[in-house]
């Protein structure tokens, strides 16, 4: 228990409240809720992300279909994808190691963590291009420019 309670998770878990399973198919409730949250002075930051620390990897957010220049043809490492907005790094207190977090105006951009950089053996990650399936349709492959690198942070339970 000492290990679990003292382990650096790579993000600041203090003051984090998670609201799960909120779906807004109309496109009206989400922006209204965000405006309400912005009006509460005690809320320093919030993010809209498909992210929740879990006990095991989510098969819907894991892929081996990632391509990059110099990738050996026989390698198929698994990557966990987090669909998020521009406030994710700020909200979770992630450390930017190089580059920047993407902004809402920048489409087809991606931020990798340092473990992904090691697996890909990217010497100069910022500016590199990776290809991966669309989060919404796996049959569509999209190119994304790497704009930043963050520290490794835990996305799975330490109690596995």
Alpha carbon dihedral 137, 143, 146, 147, in 10-degree steps, equals: -90
How far, in Å, CA of 152 to CA of 116, rounded?
Answer: 9
Q: What pLDDT sits at residue 123?
A: 92
- pTM for the whole thing? 0.73
The upper half-sphere exposure of residue 33, i.e. CA atoms within 13 Å in the direction of its Cβ, equals: 12
Cα angle at 24 between 59 and 55, to 5 degrees?
A: 30
Query: Which residue positions in the chain have pLDDT lower than 50?
Result: none
Q: What pLDDT sits at residue 58?
A: 64
Q: What pLDDT sits at residue 149?
A: 94
Q: What pLDDT sits at residue 86?
A: 83
Contacts of 125 (CB under 8 A, 6+ apart): 98, 99, 112, 117, 146, 149
- Computed on alpha carbons and rounded to an integer, the radius of gyration of the chain in Å comes to 17
Q: What pLDDT sits at residue 39?
A: 86
């Amino acid at each position: 228990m000492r290990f679990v309670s003292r382990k650096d998770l790579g993000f600041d878990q203090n003051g984090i409240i998670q609201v799960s399973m909120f779906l807004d198919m109309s496109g009206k409730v989400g922006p209204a809720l965000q405006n309400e949250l912005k009006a509460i002075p005690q809320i320093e930051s919030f993010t809209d992300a498909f992210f929740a620390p879990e006990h095991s990897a989510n098969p819907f957010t894991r892929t081996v279909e990632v391509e990059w220049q110099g990738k050996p043809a026989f390698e198929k490492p698994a990557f966990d994808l987090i669909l998020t907005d521009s406030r994710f790094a700020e909200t979770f207190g992630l450390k930017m190691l190089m580059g920047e977090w993407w902004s809402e105006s920048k489409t087809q951009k991606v931020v990798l963590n340092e473990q992904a950089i090691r697996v890909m053996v990217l010497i100069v990650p910022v500016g590199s291009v990776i290809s991966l399936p669309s989060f919404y349709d796996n049959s569509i492959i999209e190119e994304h420019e790497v704009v930043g690198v963050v520290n490794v942070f835990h996305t799975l339970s330490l109690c596995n």
